[in-house]
Structure 1
Amino acid sequence: MTKRTKKVGATGKYGVRYGASLRKQVKKMEISQHSKYTCAFCGKTTVKRTAVGIWDCKGCGKKLAGGAYLLSYVQFLPTTTVSYGIQLDLPEGNISGKQTSNMYHLQQDTCCRCFPFDNPSSERNC
């Protein structure tokens, strides 16, 4: 194990090198990346970083994509899907077998010109 002190914590391994402000930034980053986080799916404090941007929950076994040093991800809630930048308000129930947990998906044969990304209100016919 490397040398650590009370004040500088895990950045004591750098000694006097690299400057105080850079060592403070590294200390903040290393504390956040090595700490445990609460899982949004199971509620346990067992989410740890396994690789850059990959976080793993030991409680429920889910893998999450997040930040490189800080777990920050959008919590997934069952809503109607946004596909090609357009929100669809579809009724509950099975619509032609494409429903998966209140998420609806458009067919992939729809071209991008029909749903322009910059102005979703102007739809064009192909």
Structure 2
Amino acid sequence: MRLKKRSLGPRLRTRGGLSVRKRWTQVVMELKRPHKCPTCGWPSLKRMSIGIWSCGNCGSRFAGGAYQPTTKTGLASQRVASSKTQQSAII
């Protein structure tokens, strides 16, 4: 019989209190969930080290956030860069 998978919260035991454990559990679950590769679209991204992500399917490596492959700041800068290239293409 298969064992029930436990949550990641008990790693901290009683240290930090309940709110800290809840936040830590959310961060770790976001880190461990499958992320889609921006190059091939396959959900096989793994974090190599802090901020460095690698795709198991196509082998691409890129820098991203510490716990997520993309950050809000990174998405905003991509929007600005793409709008500038579109504006230069129009002119």
- TM-score, normalising length: structure 2: 0.69
Q: CA deviation at 1:15?
A: 1.3
Output one character per residue of 1:40-83: Cα deviation in whole Å (capped at 9) or x when no partner: 211111011111111101111111211111121547xxx6976x
- Identity value in percent: 29
The 3 A distance-change label for structure 1 pair 80 and 15 is closer
How do residues 89-104 of structure 1 correspond to structure 2 at under 5 angstroms? Answer: 89=88
More helix by share: 2
Give unpaired runs (5+ residues) of structure 2: none
Asked if 1:54 corresponds to 2:52, the answer is yes
Question: Structure 2 counterpart of 1:62, which letter?
Answer: S
What value does the CA root-mean-square deviation take over the aligned residues? 2.8
On the 8 A contact 1:80/1:90 being kept in 2, the answer is no
- Secondary structure of 2:62's aligned partner: strand
Number of residue-to-residue matches in the alignment: 79
* Greater RCO (CA < 8 Å, at least 6 residues apart): 2
Larger-gyration structure (1/2): 1
- TM-score, normalising length: structure 1: 0.52
Q: Distance in 2 between matches of 1:40 and 1:32?
A: 17
Asked if 1:38 corresponds to 2:45, the answer is no
Q: CA deviation at 1:14?
A: 1.5
- Secondary structure of 2:16's aligned partner: coil
Q: Distance in 2 between matches of 1:49 and 1:62?
A: 12
Q: Distance in 2 between matches of 1:80 and 1:30?
A: 34
Aligned counterpart in structure 2 of residue 11 of structure 1, from 3, 9, 12: 9
Q: Distance in 1 between matches of 2:29 and 2:87?
A: 42
